[in-house]
Chains A and B, each alone.
Chain A
């Protein structure tokens, strides 16, 4: 568990051929760790018949809606919480 609750993290903005569970709309975006869930097998290898090991830490990351959609009309504090695996995260300033 590299990251802690409240820490600012950026989702890697990289292409990934094949199955992965990081939605495109958060790639390259910065948010805050809301929860540290646990470790789970990696769906990117498990999808192709492998065992998914080593397990990856999974985080609930919160993003401000206005950081994701420039035209967002709702409340300034509206957020999206997305589960992101550790190998997609990097520390943000």
Chain B
């Protein structure tokens, strides 16, 4: 490219380091487009939709559930309907099911077979969620994994690992942090992290307000 005429402080930009999977996906996409199975616009729209999703939507659901017990019951019974109640887009499918962490039970989510994740409400999954290490160890040593994420559970708290192997996507409703009584719903939502809705972290602690 003749336009490329700045000082070279960076390595050459090539496809040399592209992972084999990326080349394979591109080849597959080209074949599917050639055969008329998909069109490029559809792929672009889906990618745009995926990257427009964020954990802020899931956090709004959780914060409302913390302040409104009727809403929490609705979220536990039918997360899709609860999301629509808040004007959120739960996605066309699959089915989202919420589980609540309590002082007796802690839930965490994994997909051992691939990377199933409630993308409509949490956005794209983090890379570690798709790693072989997380996918294998979350089921065989969940307490070890939780400890590495900084979650220390009391001995009398039981762990429930949810393996999303089929058409259901799981969302964890984390426990409301202590000291958060005076916070507004939107302040509460800001405490609800992505990882806390996967079940590998507790929500952020509220910062004490000045004065």
Contact = CB atoms under 8 A, between A and B. Distances in A.
B56 interface: no
A75 interface: yes
B204 interface: no
Contact of B168 (A25, A60, A72, A73): A60
B53 interface: no
Contacts of B141: 73
Interface of B: 95, 97, 112-113, 139-143, 155-168
Contacts of A84: 165-166
A74 B163 contact: no
A82 B163 contact: yes
A45 B141 CA distance: 33
A20 to B, nearest CB: 9
A35 B76 CA distance: 13
B140 A81 contact: no
A43 interface: yes
Contacts of B158: 75, 77-79
A73 B145 CA distance: 13
Given A37-B95, A69-B140, A75 B157 contact: yes
B166 A58 contact: yes
A27 B113 CA distance: 14
Given A21-B113, A74-B142, A80-B139, A58 B167 contact: yes
B95 to A, nearest CB: 7
B116 to A, nearest CB: 10
Interface in A36-70: 37-38, 40, 43, 58, 60, 62, 65, 68-69
